[in-house]
Chain A
Amino acid sequence: MMPQIIEADKKMVLVCCGTGCLANGSMEVYQELQQQLANSNVNVSTYTKATGCNGWCEKGPLVKIMPDDITYCQVAAKDVAEVIAKTIGKGELINRLLYRDPKTKQRVKSHHQIDFYKKQHKVALRNIGEIDPASIEDYISRDGYQALNKVLHTMGPGQVVEEVIRSGLRGRGGGGFPTGQKWKACTDVEASVRYIICNGDEGDPGAFMDRSIMEGDPHTVIEGMIIGAYAVEATAGFIYVRDEYSLAVKNLGIAIQDARQKGFLGENILGSRLSFDIEIVRGGGAFVCGEETALMASIEGNVGEPRDKYVYPTEKGLWGQPTVINNVETWANLPVIINDGAEAWASIGTEGSKGTKVFSLVGKVINTGLVEVPMGTTLREIIYEIGGGILNKRKFKAVQTGGPSGGCIPAEMLDMPVDFDSLTEAGSMMGSGGLIVMDDRTCMVEIARYYVNFLAGESCGKCTPCREGLKAMLEILSNFCQGKGSDADLQFLMDTSETMQMMSLCALGRTAANPVLSTLRYFKDEYLAHIHEQHCPAGVCRDLTEFYIDPEPCTGCGLCAQHCPVEAISGEKKEAHVIDQAICIRCGECRNQCKFDAVMIR
């Protein structure tokens, strides 16, 4: 068993084994570390721990050494010997493995000093990267299951509901509905059987907050759910996990078993009259199953088709019983709300949006990863101070928030505080927290087409406005990307969007037009350039773009030709190079590589 508090002469090495770092080889690092430590003659007693995602996948594999508070980045298996000999054995820092701050150009010892982490305020992510997700003892040593104990022995179910209402917690999955109110509605319905569901079907492309929480700190979700079960007097719970998240399924499974063994799940939990257990249900690869009525249909053994929600799930949900469905991040906040109290938890955030929010900051930003900040932090702070600004020194163009149901926010609005209401006013939404940063090499018409294409495949296909509306919009947007289309098509897009918003069966259909509407609102000139001039200003739409080399600035260095994946560039050394249009696939690699700005787009 590995202790959380390290004794004076011992060290703890935490290796990030979230999906991101695993893909970069962190398991090899972890195994190498264990092996070498076992055979090492270094005179320091060392524990190793495989943790969940630290959120900074950009710099992984991440290795932290405690109590020295050293963070090493991009560690490879071949570095392990040196880490053991120098850092563990002699307390010496290995400079090349430390993060180099681009502003000060200095090497930084601890992740606490790095902007990416410094400005974050971790609540839902409080344990991830610090604990072994497969160890219930780790969770317990960090106040784990204290909230459950408090709730079962010092609070009545009604009091718990009141506390959640007072906290002002709003659903973190996208809807932003007040959680306490949802629980209250469930308790208002007479029933002998009630259900609790955790919606782990995180489907917004670019969002992986819930994945990290389920993989890296499964117990916070479980504890949250048990607290919820007590509050609404539920007897059974389900965690619906997206099919693609196999590590999350595995770690949740281990956590549930361990929780049962410790008496946190099962009959008469901790001696109380609450009996509750949790089952994991794997999704089948359907974005629409994130919609709660589709999710319930899926659990019941059907296709994931939503139904009209004129009767809410809190009244008639799973198998017709009152059901509370909340998102992973929502559940993860509950133990903290109970432990710290509603006021303390709500002391951060804005008037209408209390607490923190986990965002996945991805795309053309330098520091990609997971970021948890107080509600009300501005987009600029997130993208520039935490994210480090735009990749390759390019220009910011827009940030997509709220996934396919959301919209794009342009540069003029970067100082907007991020909270539920501000984002909705700007024509977007919070959604699950995806922030996709786009630069000037992103075509907004193509982005609209991309999202509509995604939704056309993910729509359940049951209702006419969504299914047929998306089909028609996709045809029109694809035409635009080829330089075809007319102003009449733009009008048709608007009309169809209105119909979809008003008449679709579920939220997927009702918000499916958002990507089109928001890009039209802020980037109409791009649409017009495509339609009227057959020109793609961003240089992305394949049929409308040509890359060519301007002989003036070209020095003939050959860097472009070296990197061209299809060998479309030819030229003698020190002489202007040429791109063969017949072969060129418009990947833009030459433009990325050229140091003389010689590669142009027309």
Chain B
Amino acid sequence: MKIMIDQQVLEVNPGVTILEAARQHGIHIPTLCYHEAFGGQGMCRMCMVEVRTSHSRKVVAACTYPVQSGIEVQTSTPEIEKGRRTIVALLYRNAPDSGFMQKLYTDYDCLENGLAVNNGERCILCRLCVRACEEIGSSAISAVLRGTEKRIGTPFDEASAVCIGCAACANICPTEAIAVEQTDQDRTIWNRTFTMVQCRSCGRSFATREQLDYISQKTGLAGLDLEVCDLCRKKKLAAKIEQFAR
């Protein structure tokens, strides 16, 4: 079907969201809680865009709004920019120490508002960590409580029995809000310490014991086969491919 985004006519597939259609065509819409691996969550509201149909004009979240034939989308208007600026200013209060938020603050020309700032904290509640843990990990963390008290944590804020220490949450976090203490021997995350496993090829510590056990359980692959880090695995695979290519 045909839709228009920022005066460009685009051919899109039914069933995609405005954000997906825009990304497919290289049109930028700002997001904070979107990741292509997980799809739109509709939480940060940065991606709000204006949609015009034959009989209405409204502001909707691009990451959850399904495309409809003939709609005209404006990814930016003065009101929407003002709204985005307010959202950034509000989130900045939660994460003033984060380089990510500091950059956004300057990019959007935010003004000082004299409100108390959350020093040392960094979470902007985009919940990408929770999604990562659900998809890649073991659903060890979730969003707890409600309203202005909402935060991310493990049950009872105690060490989670199901956490595998993969740190996918910390890696995906845009503001580095999740603390990870890493040495060659162990990794401490979410109040629990995990033993690191060394790569049988190069000796580098690359994953936790629990992470490999979890993968083994899910895939049926033998534990020992998994004790090779991703770099060495790629090298081995490259060597095999080269062999076949000859």
Contact = CB atoms under 8 A, between A and B. Distances in A.
Interface of A: 286, 303, 307-308, 310-311, 455-465, 467-472, 474-476, 486, 488-489, 492, 495-496, 498-499, 502-505
26 contacts: A303-B143, A310-B60, A457-B149, A459-B146, A461-B147, A461-B148, A461-B149, A463-B45, A464-B43, A464-B44, A464-B124, A465-B83, A465-B87, A467-B147, A468-B94, A472-B90, A474-B148, A475-B116, A486-B114, A488-B114, A498-B86, A499-B86, A503-B48, A503-B83, A503-B87, A505-B43
A463 B147 contact: no
A284 B198 CA distance: 48
B42 interface: yes
A467 B125 contact: yes
A489 B114 contact: yes
A457 B146 contact: yes
Nearest to B65: A310
Nearest to B42: A308
B45 A476 contact: no
Contact of B147 (A470, A486, A496, A505): A470
A498 B83 contact: yes
Contact of A465 (B45, B93, B147): B45
B79 interface: yes
Interface of B: 32, 42-46, 48, 59-61, 64-66, 79-80, 82-83, 86-87, 90-91, 93-94, 113-116, 124-125, 143, 145-150
Contacts, number: 116
A189 to B, nearest CB: 15
B76 to A, nearest CB: 14
A15 B80 CA distance: 58
Contacts of A467: 125, 147-148, 150
Contact of B148 (A465, A471, A486, A499): A471
User: Across chains A and B, which 3 residue pairs bring their CB atoms closest together, nearest first?
Assistant: A461-B150, A468-B90, A459-B147
Contacts of B59: 502-503
Nearest to A456: B148
Given A465-B87, A499-B87, 13 more contacts: A310-B60, A460-B147, A461-B146, A462-B43, A464-B87, A465-B83, A467-B147, A468-B91, A499-B86, A502-B79, A503-B45, A503-B59, A505-B61
Contact of A499 (B83, B124, B143): B83
A308 B65 contact: yes
Contacts of B42: 307-308, 462-463, 505
B115 A472 contact: yes
Nearest to B68: A310
Nearest to B112: A488
A308 B45 CA distance: 11
